[in-house]
């Protein structure tokens, strides 16, 4: 049956392409920029006085140097580390060719019923982690390079410098299990962890970004993948869903699409949804004894919903091109690597997808090479830093022989 469905899908895909007479090429973008995570604005640069003006009439603000005018005050400078971390970004970035590789942690305030939430986005949000955290006054030894220049200047095989941080950050999953820990001093996070890390961003000092809005990696901050802390679904309608996200917002598709903010008590048994728009209905969500939740809209609609398990997350995505049989058109050849170390290779064109191959993979943390073990294409290794790989297989159903180069999607 699966083979018949695949053939029918391919036939419909070919007919759609032939009727449209178009192609769907692939493209990928690169991030580029300065390795300094804060990019001061030039708007405040001091102007040169015109001839004949009276310099004595300038105000103290006028007489400030450009550096004084461009450096924003740090409102958290005098806070203790446990308070300084709240709402802050700690980041590390460097240029790799024409890509600005970014790695960062974003720490939220306490979410009632959940705890203090963190988000980690590595390799331009290609690898992400979400959970809870706590800062404890406990010394922790670390082994970290101070910056990328030190890494590049070190001899091959050299160990990173060591030190001792006065504080420790403990990272937990959403079930309260300890996942990893690292050193911390308020202004620096010493990322030498094994469970929470990303290729190219390990054994590094992540500095607190005092001006995140003007950071060179502000675009990556804005593309943070807000993970759900609770996902519900109507068992009688799979399109009716509710997601509560770690950043304090929600997405409600039970009746119609509504977003806004939520609040809840410590055991998450009573949740209040407040829509962003006054024209939308809010709702209350109450946990039942059997583990289900009752959703009740302000318009009186009532639905019993089930909890959804966490879905796989894409850690890396690659794109190439594949010829669509029977046409002169090209479709996308996409490979997605998931956070459970599995991968899916599939063809995509005009809204239709067709599986090509599946794989498992692992990453060499010394060479940053990703090795994929495809069922049909065999073992394939990427170039350094996983930027691309070549795939080839024969006798693929519908497509025949497939050979293509796939490049990592960076945005």
Does residue 15 sit in the same domain as residue 157? no
- The β-bridge partners of 114 are none
pLDDT confidence of residue 350: 65
Does residue 142 sit in the same domain as residue 70? yes
* Other CB atoms within 10 Å distance of the CB of residue 17: 23
Overall number of domains in the chain: 3
Does residue 136 sit in the same domain as residue 175? yes
8 Å CB contact between 192 and 176 = no
Does residue 159 sit in the same domain as residue 85? yes
Q: Does 296 reside within a domain?
A: yes
Does residue 21 sit in the same domain as residue 102? no
Domain that holds residue 252: 228-307
* Other CB atoms within 10 Å distance of the CB of residue 59: 7
pLDDT confidence of residue 72: 66
8 Å CB contact between 93 and 37 = yes
Q: At which of 307, 342, 367 does a domain end?
A: 307
Q: Does 76 reside within a domain?
A: yes
Does residue 294 sit in the same domain as residue 384? no
Query: Which CATH number characterizes residue 342's domain?
Result: 2.40.128
Does residue 179 sit in the same domain as residue 257? no
pLDDT confidence of residue 342: 93
Does residue 120 sit in the same domain as residue 245? no
CA distance 399 to 411: 28
8 Å CB contact between 17 and 352 = no
Does residue 238 sit in the same domain as residue 340? no
Q: Does 107 reside within a domain?
A: yes
Q: What is the mean pLDDT of each run of 10 residues along the chain (411 residues)?
A: 37 43 37 39 39 42 46 85 96 92 92 84 90 96 96 93 98 89 98 93 97 95 85 92 88 92 87 94 94 95 86 86 88 93 89 88 90 97 94 92 94 71
What strands, in cross-sheet order, belong to the sheet with 314-323?
378-381, 369-374, 352-364, 342-349, 330-338, 314-323, 400-408, 388-396
Which residue's structure tokens are 């390990």? 202
Does residue 147 sit in the same domain as residue 163? yes
Per the confidence metrics, is the pTM higher than 0.85? Answer: no
In the chain, helix, strand, coil percent, each to 5? 10, 45, 45
CA distance 204 to 193: 10
pLDDT confidence of residue 59: 43
Q: At which of 216, 250, 277 does a domain end?
A: 216
Q: Does 54 reside within a domain?
A: no
Q: Does 81 reside within a domain?
A: yes
Q: From the CA atom positions of the chain, what is the Rg in Å?
A: 26
CA distance 334 to 316: 11
* Cα angle value 311/312/314 (rounded, 5°): 135
Q: Does 267 reside within a domain?
A: yes
- Burial label, 268 (beta-carbon count in 10 A; 0-12, 13-18, 19+): middle
* Other CB atoms within 10 Å distance of the CB of residue 223: 13
Q: At which of 166, 190, 216 does a domain end?
A: 216
Q: Does 334 reside within a domain?
A: yes
Does residue 122 sit in the same domain as residue 67? yes
CA 191 to mean position of chain CA atoms: 17
Q: Does 176 reside within a domain?
A: yes
8 Å CB contact between 260 and 276 = yes
| Strand boundaries in 166-269, DSSP class E | 167-172, 178-184, 188-191, 204-208, 228-234, 237-245, 249-252, 258-264
CA distance 7 to 159: 54
Does residue 326 sit in the same domain as residue 371? yes
* Cα angle value 338/340/343 (rounded, 5°): 40
């Amino acid at each position: 049956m699966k083979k018949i469905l695949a053939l029918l899908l391919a036939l419909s895909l070919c007919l759609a392409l032939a009727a449209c007479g178009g192609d769907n090429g692939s493209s990928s973008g690169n991030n580029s920029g300065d390795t300094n995570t804060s990019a001061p604005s030039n708007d405040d640069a001091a102007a040169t006085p015109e001839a004949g003006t009276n310099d004595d009439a300038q105000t103290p603000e006028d007489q400030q140097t450009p550096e004084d005018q461009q450096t924003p005050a740090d409102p958290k400078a005098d806070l203790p580390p446990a308070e300084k971390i709240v709402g802050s970004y700690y980041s590390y970035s460097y240029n790799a060719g024409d890509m600005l590789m970014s790695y960062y942690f974003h720490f939220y305030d306490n979410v009632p019923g959940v705890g203090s939430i963190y988000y980690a986005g590595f390799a331009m949000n290609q690898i992400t982690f979400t959970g809870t955290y706590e800062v404890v006054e406990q010394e922790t030894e670390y082994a970290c390079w101070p910056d990328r220049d030190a890494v590049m200047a070190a001899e091959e095989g050299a160990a990173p410098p060591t030190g001792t941080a006065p504080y420790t950050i403990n990272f937990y999953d959403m079930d309260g299990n300890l996942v990893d820990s690292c050193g911390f001093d308020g202004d620096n996070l010493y990322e030498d962890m094994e469970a929470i890390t990303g290729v190219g961003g390990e054994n590094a000092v992540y500095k607190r970004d005092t001006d995140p809005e003007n950071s060179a990696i502000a675009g990556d901050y804005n593309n943070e993948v807000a993970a759900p802390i609770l996902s519900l679904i109507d068992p009688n309608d799979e399109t009716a869903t509710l997601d509560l996200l770690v950043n304090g917002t929600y997405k409600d598709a039970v009746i119609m699409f509504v977003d806004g903010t939520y609040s809840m008590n410590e055991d998450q048994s009573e949740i209040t949804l407040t829509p962003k728009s006054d024209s939308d209905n809010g709702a209350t969500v109450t946990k039942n004894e059997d583990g289900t939740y009752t959703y009740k809209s302000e318009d009186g609609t009532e639905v019993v919903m089930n909890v959804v398990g966490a879905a796989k997350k894409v850690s890396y995505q690659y794109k190439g091109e594949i010829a669509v049989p029977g046409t002169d058109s090209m479709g996308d050849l996409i490979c997605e690597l998931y956070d459970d170390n599995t991968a899916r290779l599939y063809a995509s064109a005009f809204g239709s997808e067709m599986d090509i191959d599946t794989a498992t993979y692992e990453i060499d943390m010394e060479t940053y090479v990703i090795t994929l073990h495809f069922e049909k294409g065999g073992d394939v290794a990427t170039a350094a830093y996983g930027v691309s790989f070549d795939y080839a297989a024969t006798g693929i159903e519908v497509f025949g022989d497939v050979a293509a180069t796939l490049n990592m999607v960076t945005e």
